């Protein structure tokens, strides 16, 4: 019997899952042999009468590869734009309480912004797909099945978000699609054995879908030919009053989590799961981000342990009073990293000339816990051959009048 790690792995044959999910087939595998970054033909099984996502050039990477920007649209006029460079969510246009559309994502107008010296130095990972391992791994090393692995260190002594060249900095194969659920973009990438120090050839598929009820669903799937560790997430920075509100301190956040990971000075978990009650980490009822942030040295950048450990469950709710916009996050992951843009310092200027200063955006990264490969008491992130990692997280937008 194939064992699977809790909450992340479905121990089913790879082909069986892909058929069930409707993504990935022999045809898609053959298309993946085309040049990296090109757009694969749309699935011929899709109904031609259904509108497809649009695409346009997003510029060229520093090595001269042209990348695309794909825009998904629903009947309400909501638009999600994603580039195949890093799988980055660059823009998300959603309505406010008056029906006016506004972009709630921090980002840039072209790929150059995501490769500038200033961006690479500050490393905010705006909107990107994160892997092979999201968050930090202590000292850039772990042991698996008795073998020690050394990773690329890019966060002091630690490895952060996959290493020096994580999934956020590679060009993904892109395949736009459409179904009864909504317009979609399927992104695939082969992370080769030894990339950034991780073992195993890891085949990754991420599908973004924009639904009719104004939700952006992110569906992650991965398989490997050698035991490895996996923790996939998205690093979008949200500001539900982006363009008018310079910071997110007035946003009201609710997190259904009674505990959080205590971290050391390097933001590595100590192993303690501390109750939030009576602390500024208690978001079990709504609180403005700025209400108690001064009591947290450096600001919020911690993993909360969600109360519901299995199946799809609520992970966060956000309300922005000025616009009335709301966001509901659901996931099947055991944790969520709540980060409040503490390291943004005004050196980056994004879309519309917006200067991104401290607390200009917040992140809600659904995930397994940081440093899990070195912490046996945490839910396992090990993926073995014959198993399939599968996870779905959804960000649904609405209004409160």
Asked if pLDDT for residue 48 goes beyond 50, the answer is no
pLDDT of residue 309: 78
Q: If pLDDT is split at 50, 70 and 90, which confidence band does 36 have?
A: very low
Look over the chain and give the mean of its residue pLDDT values, rounded to a whole number.
89
Q: Is 365 one of the catalytic residues?
A: yes
Average pLDDT rounded to a whole number, residues 254-278: 97
pLDDT of residue 263: 96
- The structure's pTM equals 0.88
Q: Is 387 one of the catalytic residues?
A: no
Catalytic residue among 365, 368, 387, 390: 365
Q: If pLDDT is split at 50, 70 and 90, which confidence band does 50 have?
A: low
Neighbouring CB atoms inside 10 A of 82's CB total 31
Catalytic residue among 161, 195, 196, 235: 235
pLDDT of residue 246: 86
User: 305-318, pLDDT tens digit by residue?
Assistant: 999 978 999 999 99
Distance, in Å, from the CA atom of 208 to the CA atom of 161, rounded to the nearest integer, reads 20
**Do 322 and 245 touch, CB atoms closer than 8 A?**
yes
User: 342-385, pLDDT tens digit by residue?
Assistant: 999 999 999 989 999 999 999 999 999 999 999 999 999 999 99
């Amino acid at each position: 019997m194939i064992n699977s790690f809790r909450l992340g792995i479905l121990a089913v044959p790879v082909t069986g899952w892909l058929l069930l999910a409707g993504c990935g087939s022999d045809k898609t595998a053959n298309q993946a042999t085309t040049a990296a970054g090109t757009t694969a033909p749309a699935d011929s099984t899709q109904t031609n009468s259904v509108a497809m996502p649009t695409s346009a050039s997003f510029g060229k990477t520093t090595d001269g590869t042209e990348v695309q920007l794909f825009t998904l649209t629903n009947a309400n006029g909501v638009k999600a734009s994603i580039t195949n460079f890093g799988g980055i969510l660059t823009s998300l246009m959603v309505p406010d309480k008056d029906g006016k559309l506004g972009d709630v994502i921090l980002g840039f107008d072209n790929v150059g912004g995501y490769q500038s010296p200033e961006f690479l130095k500050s490393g905010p990972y705006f909107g990107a797909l994160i892997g092979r391992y999201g968050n930090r791994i202590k000292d850039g090393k772990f042991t698996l099945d008795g073998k020690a692995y050394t990773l690329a260190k890019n966060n002091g002594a630690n490895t952060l978000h996959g290493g020096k060249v994580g999934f956020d900095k590679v060009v993904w194969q892109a395949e736009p699609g459409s179904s009864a659920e909504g317009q979609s973009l399927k992104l695939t990438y082969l992370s080769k054995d030894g990339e950034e120090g991780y073992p195993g050839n890891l085949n990754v598929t991420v599908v973004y879908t924009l639904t009719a009820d104004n939700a952006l669903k992110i569906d992650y799937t991965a398989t490997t030919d050698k035991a490895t560790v996996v923790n996939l997430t998205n690093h979008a920075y949200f500001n539900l009053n982006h363009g008018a509100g310079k910071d997110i301190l007035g946003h009201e956040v609710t997190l259904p989590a009674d505990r959080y990971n205590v971290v050391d000075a390097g933001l590595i978990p100590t192993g303690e799961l501390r109750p939030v009650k009576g602390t500024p980490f208690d978001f079990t009822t709504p609180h403005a981000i700025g209400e108690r942030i001064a009591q947290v040295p450096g600001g919020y950048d911690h993993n909360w342990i969600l109360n519901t450990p299995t199946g799809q469950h609520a992970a966060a709710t956000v309300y922005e009073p000025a616009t009335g916009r709301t966001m509901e996050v659901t996931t099947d992951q055991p944790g969520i990293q709540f980060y409040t843009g503490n390291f943004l310092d005004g050196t980056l200027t994004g879309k519309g000339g917006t200067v991104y200063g401290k607390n200009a955006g917040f992140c809600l990264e659904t995930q397994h816990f940081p440093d899990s490969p070195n912490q046996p008491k945490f839910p396992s992130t090990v993926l073995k051959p014959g198993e399939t990692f599968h996870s779905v997280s959804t960000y649904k937008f609405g209004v409160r009048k």
